[in-house]
A and B are shown apart, each in its own frame.
Chain A
């Protein structure tokens, strides 16, 4: 049950630092409202659906990336305030500590995804779910947030301060976002860029969410491939976080 106590504490931290929610959601909302409106006229001939609907799944991932990154920020704040030391010498497993922090970041991601989806309804986006498609979207977003939050957790234990951390996370997350199918169709991209886009796991994740959310198309092969890939990456990322926390004792 210590997991839930730690999770509750982390949620209290988030509520206390509510600005972290604001900072991570402002940019995706601006993309949704301003960018999609401006770019929709250009993209009209390329797409069969409204452009705001097209970029919504990509922006849902951007929201997940941004709020999951704040998982690492909590480590810096705890170190600064001293509670990090107290937790490390408490009889609590390292896995529980990491999972409680990562889960809080995932919950924050979900809250922000719901918010941005709600706003998109006022911009003409039409969404229809079945229970299966809804669960699938939740699972893909969960795994994506888990991956980025664990990555952020590890990096926050390696990098010297929150400024360097933020810069590093931006340097990781923004290329992943731009070199994916978040903002435009990627079928016609050729050459090295095309290869990078196809190797980007989030291209497949965004495509999957988009096809389920907007077209109600569920291709089992795509689901297994994307889920499998995300689960493997999540395991690797969690193991790295675990190892990084263990190494805190071996400086």
Chain B
């Protein structure tokens, strides 16, 4: 069964900006789903619509079998969202924050206290209990924010770029936490990120979006296939980079070349390094460096966009 079904969703802001353009997507119940995209791709708009914060212009969304346009109140009881910006009240204590969240979701007091105690333990917040919330570090505030949003035992948890600005250690801890939430609570997790690695490590299914459209959507394996592609990065000294690209294109019409800044990226389907080096030396083309690279999200975008012709 699908936790989220999106059909032809569009959002045009009043200032004319089209953030979503006929977006389609399905997320299975119990999955960790990752939405990848650059800034301005429409990720935050999509998450705001799914969390009932914003209204869409057209299209339909079903969440847990409920129509988002008609049954937003029922959906609100079953979802929670950890926004990019932490949402804790710094004028309340840790316990007050969590119990207030319980009140918002009409959880009986005894039950709320039980859940609070359990979440404080799971998220390692015991030692911060008696400290003022305003004195917490960014990482602890983020942990409290997630714990707070789990007070209502949501069936779907939205995480909007949860690891942005975190160091490696905190990011790994966050990933462990996300896995734990899914395995222990069975929550469907919908997260947005810039980082391919995050999607690769955490997700069951992935969607890449650009300009409000769904470009690639499928299982992690599908994206991993794209990640497996190697590129040769050729950093050139010569300022006439376009001429060199044209030369390589003419000489090897089957090669896939991408021009970016002062480098040319060549898709390395077969091992073409020897051949490329031979040509460069023969033609006396000066270069700064040459080597194998993994594609960045941007490279995959370019490739996918070329294939999708957007």
Task: Give A residues with C-beta under 8 Å from B.
Answer: 1-2, 5, 9, 12-13, 15-17, 81-83, 85-92, 249-251
Total B residues in contact with A, Cβ cutoff 8 Å: 31
**B91 with A12: CB separation less than 8 A:** yes
**A90 with B104: CB separation less than 8 A:** yes
Question: Does B86 lie at the interface of the complex (its beta carbon under 8 Å from any beta carbon of A)?
Answer: yes
Known: A12-B92, A17-B91, A251-B14. A91 touches B106 (CB 8 A): yes
**A2 with B54: CB separation less than 8 A:** no
Q: Quote the shortest CB–CB distance from A203 to chain B (angstroms).
A: 38
**B91 with A5: CB separation less than 8 A:** no
| Alpha-carbon distance between A187 and B36 when the two chains are bound, in angstroms | 70
| Alpha-carbon distance between A21 and B205 when the two chains are bound, in angstroms | 52
A-contact bits for B158-179, CB 8 A (1 contact / 0 none): 0000000000000000000000
Known: A5-B103, A251-B13. A85 touches B88 (CB 8 A): no
A-contact bits for B250-264, CB 8 A (1 contact / 0 none): 000000000000000
| Alpha-carbon distance between A17 and B89 when the two chains are bound, in angstroms | 12
Q: Quote the shortest CB–CB distance from B90 to chain A (angstroms).
A: 6
**B86 with A91: CB separation less than 8 A:** no
**A9 with B92: CB separation less than 8 A:** yes
Known: A2-B103, A2-B104, A90-B104. A85 touches B53 (CB 8 A): yes
Taking CB atoms, residues of chain A closer than 8 Å to B90 are 16, 81
Known: A9-B100, A83-B88, A251-B14. A90 touches B105 (CB 8 A): yes
| Alpha-carbon distance between A85 and B100 when the two chains are bound, in angstroms | 15
In the complex, given contacts A86-B81, A91-B104, A91-B106, what are 14 additional A-B residue pairs having Cβ atoms less than 8 angstroms apart?
A: A2-B104, A5-B104, A9-B92, A15-B91, A81-B87, A82-B86, A82-B88, A85-B81, A85-B87, A86-B87, A88-B52, A88-B53, A250-B55, A251-B13
Question: Does B282 lie at the interface of the complex (its beta carbon under 8 Å from any beta carbon of A)?
Answer: no
Taking CB atoms, residues of chain B closer than 8 Å to A251 are 13-14, 54
Selecting from B72-80, B186-194, B228-236, the interface stretch reads B72-80
**B77 with A89: CB separation less than 8 A:** no
Write the chain A residue with the least CB distance to B158. A89
**A91 with B100: CB separation less than 8 A:** no
Which chain B residues in 202-249 approach chain A with CB under 8 Å?
Answer: none
**A249 with B100: CB separation less than 8 A:** no
Taking CB atoms, residues of chain B closer than 8 Å to A249 are 52-55
Taking CB atoms, residues of chain B closer than 8 Å to A2 are 103-104, 106
A-contact bits for B65-103, CB 8 A (1 contact / 0 none): 000000001001101110101111111100010001101
